Amino acid sequence: MSGHGAPIIGAEELVAAGKAGIRAVIVAASWHTQIMDGLIDGALRAARDAGIAEPELVRVPGTFELPVAAARLAPEFDTVIALGVVIRGGTPHFDYVCQGATLGLTDVSVRTGVPVGFGVLTCDTEEQAIARAGLEGSIEDKGYEAMSAGLQTATVLVRR
């Protein structure tokens, strides 16, 4: 399971982000509504746990559009949380979208210095995505994890 070995996210680390006044934006794709709703709910829950007012939510058509939206929004926020889901099909499209989103979001983070919480699910099946979406019965909550990672990294950078 991909969550094996993940750090335990404690309330102390999240509250530090809230106390630091971290400003977060969620950029979320629109495909796979049920899964995306779970990812967004998880990210919002992590923000609430940090004591952060509800972050702005920006929707884009798909995962491939996440990097351009993140690039435009990054200068206005301390962290950008990118949420999307790509499920493998029968063509190479999956590979191109996953690579484009991953490289694009990495570039945004490095180029702007604004951490990007990476909450893009790249799964072989819809069942795998549901298992990671933070829905009832899911075994992981990647939306929560992405927001937590973005908040914690932004907190470290704000302190410097």
> How high is the pLDDT of residue 2?
57
Exposure string for 22-45, b = 16+ CB within 10 A, e = fewer: bebbbbbbeebeebbebbbbbbbb
Give the other-Cβ count within 10 Å of 114's Cβ. 23
pLDDT at 1: 44
In order of their start, the domains of the chain are 23-158 (3.40.50.960)
CA distances from 107 to 24, 51, 99, 111, 140 (A): 18, 29, 12, 6, 26
pLDDT in tens, 2-43: 566 665 666 677 777 777 889 999 999 999 999 999 999 999
93 has catalytic annotation: yes
Q: Is the pLDDT of residue 150 over 90?
A: yes
Taking the complete model, does pTM exceed 0.85, yes or no?
A: yes
C-beta separation of 66 from 84 below 8 A = yes
Which of 61, 93, 95, 110 is the catalytic position?
93
Burial category of 75 from C-beta neighbours within 10 Å (exposed 0-12, middle 13-18, buried 19 and up): exposed
pLDDT mean over 59-71:
98
Tens digit of pLDDT for each residue in 77-117?
999 999 999 999 989 999 999 999 999 999 999 999 999 99
